[in-house]
Structure 1
Amino acid sequence: MKIRLILLLVSLLSLVAADAQTAPADSVQPLHILPPTQRQSYKKLPDGSELQILAGKVKVRQGTTYFYCDSLVVNTNTRILEAYGHVHINDSDTAHVYSNYLRYLLNERKAYLTGNVKLTDGHGILTTKELEYDLATKVGTYKNGGRVVNKKSVLTSEEGVYYADIRDVYFKKNVKLKDPAYDLQTDSMIYNTETQMARFITETFMKDSSGRTIQTREGYYDLRSGHAEFSQRTRIQDKSMVVLGDQIANDDSSGIIQIRGNGVLIDTSQGVNILANEIFANKKTGAYLATKKPLMIIRQEKDSIYVAADTLFSAKLTDLYKIPDTVQKKAAPVAKNSKKPNTNSPRLNNDSTNRYFEAFRNVRIYSDSVQAVSDSLFYSFKDSTFRLYDNPVVWSKKSQVTGDTIYLFTKNKKADRFQVFENSFVVNESQIGVYNQVKANRMDGQFKEGNIDTIGAKGNAESIYFIQDKDSAYTGVNQTTSELMDVYFDKGELHKVVLRNTIKGTLTPISQKSPESARLEKFQWLERRRPKTKYELFE
């Protein structure tokens, strides 16, 4: 009995399955004629087709889609609808489409519109010559030029696809956007009429009202908030700054730009380049921060200066020192026909030298004439001075300068002079293993053509230098002390030491004192820390 019941159930299930397989697809929704349609007639064609003709404020419905026009013809055999004059399609209130002529396939629910075609979703208006609109998928396509107006933004392209459900328009070929704030050109772009978000997927060029330009290959831009994110090696340029990076995030409202991956920031007003894997820049304050192997290049025609560190930061001097309003007012010019000073444009803020930069941890400096290292650095464009702190070392040709703090002054972006404070020590390598030395509490030095030319040492000054004859053979070692001491160099090599007061000294024949034993206290030769080439700073 159980076996028979099971066989019966299997037979019934088979019949249900077979019936399901042979059942027709969902039936096509019928077309309903609605008032105020005024006239209706029928006409038979020689091929046997029957035409249903409607005229006079025609209104028909298929499902939730309404069609309006002046007159309408339906071929009941081919299921093709043609509408003429003031055509209007209301697609479930999702989109409204207008045209002069409509050819509509009732079964496939595809509409082909020509003549003054307009599509709107309540946010943007698309106009074109011809449009194909699929009511089943709610997708409209144009291939002969289109124009979308959304508030004050106007987008044009040769081709486009409109997705009514999500309010996206995919523009293709010769895409242009005109906005009061931006002009844009690209070959492909996706734009959302509701969110006003533009997404780029190919080479794109933008220019805003201030003259700033953006070149990118991929990213998005929110036209309402001004927030944007770009990738695929983007370039942004304005009057004072150029930035490039693998990824760039830009916020117009805050003025913050974030660059990630092979970042480049070019400060055109200062002649400075910043390279780093992460850079933050504030357009409103003019400050920028670089991390992840940052490198600063102070550009000049010859002998550019390269600075590397763990972190680089730059901003305005007036923001650092918080110049009082009274000083700013004195510096500000008085506007024409005004009794009050123009405090909005003080000279201090507009001065191109109103800037500084700081470097922290593992600071390295390289130029062809001078190299240096330290733990931290402060540089002011106002006085063109590098202030090196925490175990600083400066090298010039065969000379090495150390101390607790070193000020390296530049002139026309070249080393001009230096000051060393506390534990000042200069070592000049005469040859490998032979070192002339000077130490004191304080030193002031001068450069000439990229070489140390003179040094003034004061406060417990000491020196050791090797005497040479006319054939450059070493004859003796002179070790002296003095309260004041002047040291003279010739083409980068120590040439003469002049003692000023409280003088003590000994001259020892070279046969009695080896170069290895001729060392002042705290002597150190730090050549291994010296940057040998600018390329080391890129590593």
Structure 2
Amino acid sequence: MCGILLLLSSTTSYAQQQDTTTQPGAGQLLEFLKADRNNIKKVDSNQFISYAGNVKIKQGKTLFYADSAVVNPVTNIFEAFGNIHINDADSVHTYAQYLKYLAKEKQAFLKKRVRLTDGKSTLTTDELEYDVTVKIGTYLKGGKVINEKTTLTSTEGYYYGDTRDIIFKRKVRLVNPDYKIDTDTLQYNTDTEITTFTSPTTIRNDKKLVIKTKSGYYDLKNKRAELYKRPVIDDSTYTMTADDMALDSISGLSEFRGNAVYRSKDSTKGFDMIANNIKTNNKKNSLLATQSPLLLLKQDRDSIYIAADTFYSAKLSDLLKIKNVPRVRDSIDFTFLIDSTKEDSTDKYFEAYYNVKIFSDSMQSVGDSLFYALKDSVFRLFKSPVVWAQTNQVTGDTIYMYLKNSKPERLYVFENAMALSQVDSTIYFNQVKGNTINAYFDTTGQIQFLRSKGNSENVYYATDEGGHFIGVNKNSSDVVEIRFADGKAKRVLLINGVDGTMYPMRQVNHEDLKLRNFRWLDNLRPKSRYDILSSQ
């Protein structure tokens, strides 16, 4: 039965006629192109026309196919049954087993094994409402969308044919070979494969990494993401949060902007990094922290706080593979104590540049730059650093500070080394100066032994058993060795080229006893962790 035209605004008899007349409102014109058989039936005042067998109907650029159809020309509605196929201008194809179509409004209501495809993705559901005019499809009782390797499910869904956007709501889940996403609201574009998050969202991968965000998007094609409103990354070894994040899985580069906080989960040799900007490179296992960064080294009970203008961190084993190890800001080359390149959680080093400040309960320091490796717990401080341990101050061109259980175990000072110790909170200072200084500490962090070598000078305030001053020794020699008890100098040994004088307390000008380049820098000393935090 070809060429039968149905004008839904009339009640003309629909027997086998070949009316091809067009009238105003032709956009509402239904053209019955094909059916194996038809029948006209009146029920009360209504007239129905039924078609059966290979039914084909056309409205504008939209084609309808079905096993059978029943038309009510008065209400401008037809129902179709079995193997429904709607071809909307060759752009969107919809399939179902039942269709109710409002021709005037161009709205289709489909049920039973509904499937909609735009060539890029396929939507399946039990019930779907589709607006032919604006190409919008809606399901409210559960649906699924498959786009290549990505599957999305939700209770509600809204498909926009012109833009190829789908908005999923309620119990939304996206499953991809690389990850899974759970949320309440999500927008997905089948052309660009960009997923947009507008509600609290959880992203998981098979490596136990979990990302939680409230807003953002993920580009599936290019594997890039922008996350906003304090997203959180939780991995087996660390957590990361910031005001917003930019992640690129292909390049391995990520940027964390605004109040960024990195926390490692290793409680004994781990670290936390806080900064307003942190950039990471997953392929190089590197990290760059700028804009008021702060490094917290977890050392059992006594954590170490470090502030600087910039921090850089990467794998120590990678650095050891480089033939010409780069110097820290043109300072002297440092000697590594690590030979193993075995992968472990301590295979990491830090470089800090400009305005370095360090605080722990047992020692403090300031300087220009530093290098620190988790493996050996040695602070390598460059360009005229200062280290304080209890009442002792040590300065030099370069200082290596060895830690054990977060307390100083040994200090080695290169060039222009000087150690000062204030005597019982007085204006007097014991002083040692030399080319190099080695100092050793006990388990409580108190100095036990000090050795100065090369053009050594020493000023020592001697006391009797009652602690009263009996005089001042000023000496020079090649080597000075001092042994301490309870943090106080008890024995001084001078070796090679000894020259010196003991002065009575009342006969000396104590200012004149200060060695060349004497500087008591207690005003620069961080007094608490809050001094570190407030400097950032």
RMSD: 2.1
- Name the counterpart of 2:275: 276
Work out the CA distance in 2 between the residues paired with 1:537 and 1:109.
68
Q: Residues 317-336 of structure 1 correspond to what in structure 2 (within 5 A)? A: 317-322=316-321
Work out the CA distance in 2 between the residues paired with 1:278 and 1:373.
23
The answer (yes or no) to whether the contact 2:196–2:218 under 8 Å persists in 1 is yes
- 1:60 maps onto 2:57 in alignment: yes
Q: Which SS does the other structure have where 1:537 is aligned?
A: helix
Shift of 1:268: 4.2
- Name the counterpart of 1:32: 30
- Name the counterpart of 1:333: none
- 1:410 maps onto 2:403 in alignment: yes
Work out the CA distance in 2 between the residues paired with 1:405 and 1:399.
17
Shift of 1:28: 6.4
- 1:452 maps onto 2:447 in alignment: yes
Work out the CA distance in 1 between the residues paired with 2:29 and 2:57.
7
Shift of 1:178: 1.7
Q: 1:437 aligns with which of 421, 427, 431?
A: 431
- 1:368 maps onto 2:367 in alignment: no
Shift of 1:264: 1.9
Work out the CA distance in 1 between the residues paired with 2:522 and 2:347.
35
Shift of 1:39: 2.5
For structure 1, the residue ranges without an aligned partner over 5 or more in a row are 1-25, 325-345
Work out the CA distance in 2 between the residues paired with 1:492 and 1:259.
45
Q: Deviations over 1:23-64 (max 9, x none)?
A: xxx836233334332323333332x23223222211111121
- Name the counterpart of 1:298: 297
Work out the CA distance in 2 between the residues paired with 1:392 and 1:60.
87
Identity percentage over the alignment? 43
Shift of 1:354: 3.4
The answer (yes or no) to whether the contact 2:253–2:281 under 8 Å persists in 1 is yes
Q: Deviations over 1:74-116 (max 9, x none)?
A: 2222222211111111112221111111112222211111111
- 1:493 maps onto 2:488 in alignment: yes
- Name the counterpart of 2:384: 391
- 1:163 maps onto 2:163 in alignment: no
Work out the CA distance in 1 between the residues paired with 2:184 and 2:206.
22
User: Structure 1 counterpart of 2:348, which letter?
Assistant: R
- Name the counterpart of 1:71: 68
Q: Residues 96-245 of structure 1 correspond to what in structure 2 (within 5 A)? A: 96-245=93-242
Work out the CA distance in 1 between the residues paired with 2:395 and 2:196.
55
Q: Residues 333-348 of structure 1 correspond to what in structure 2 (within 5 A)? A: 348=341
Count of aligned pairs: 492
Work out the CA distance in 2 between the residues paired with 1:85 and 1:149.
24
User: Structure 2 counterpart of 1:178, which letter?
Assistant: V
- 1:527 maps onto 2:526 in alignment: no
- 1:49 maps onto 2:53 in alignment: no
Q: Deviations over 1:160-199 (max 9, x none)?
A: 1111111111111111122221122111111112222211
Choose between structure 1 and 2: higher helix proportion.
1
Shift of 1:376: 1.0
- Name the counterpart of 2:497: 502
Q: 2:507 aligns with which of 512, 515, 525?
A: 512
Q: 1:86 aligns with which of 83, 88, 104?
A: 83
User: Structure 2 counterpart of 1:387, which letter?
Assistant: R
Q: Which SS does the other structure have where 1:318 is aligned?
A: helix
Shift of 1:236: 2.0
- 1:359 maps onto 2:364 in alignment: no
- Name the counterpart of 2:287: 288
Q: Which SS does the other structure have where 2:243 is aligned?
A: strand
Q: Deviations over 1:279-316 (max 9, x none)?
A: 11111221111111111111122111122111111112
The answer (yes or no) to whether the contact 2:121–2:146 under 8 Å persists in 1 is yes
The answer (yes or no) to whether the contact 1:364–1:372 under 8 Å persists in 2 is yes
Q: Which SS does the other structure have where 1:72 is aligned?
A: strand
Q: 1:400 aligns with which of 371, 387, 393?
A: 393
Shift of 1:479: 1.6
- 1:537 maps onto 2:532 in alignment: yes
The answer (yes or no) to whether the contact 2:471–2:502 under 8 Å persists in 1 is yes
The answer (yes or no) to whether the contact 2:31–2:59 under 8 Å persists in 1 is no
Q: Which SS does the other structure have where 1:29 is aligned?
A: helix
The answer (yes or no) to whether the contact 1:201–1:219 under 8 Å persists in 2 is yes
Work out the CA distance in 1 between the residues paired with 2:495 and 2:422.
24
Work out the CA distance in 2 between the residues paired with 1:57 and 1:27.
27
Shift of 1:414: 3.1
Q: 2:473 aligns with which of 475, 478, 483?
A: 478
- 1:261 maps onto 2:255 in alignment: no
Shift of 1:319: 2.4
Shift of 1:219: 1.2
Q: Which SS does the other structure have where 1:348 is aligned?
A: coil
Shift of 1:155: 1.0
Work out the CA distance in 2 between the residues paired with 1:110 and 1:234.
41
The answer (yes or no) to whether the contact 1:31–1:60 under 8 Å persists in 2 is no
The answer (yes or no) to whether the contact 1:94–1:165 under 8 Å persists in 2 is no
Deviating 4+ runs (over 6 angstroms): none
Work out the CA distance in 2 between the residues paired with 1:383 and 1:291.
25
The answer (yes or no) to whether the contact 1:474–1:510 under 8 Å persists in 2 is yes
For structure 2, the residue ranges without an aligned partner over 5 or more in a row are 1-23, 324-338
Shift of 1:275: 1.3
The answer (yes or no) to whether the contact 1:360–1:376 under 8 Å persists in 2 is yes
User: Structure 2 counterpart of 1:43, which letter?
Assistant: K
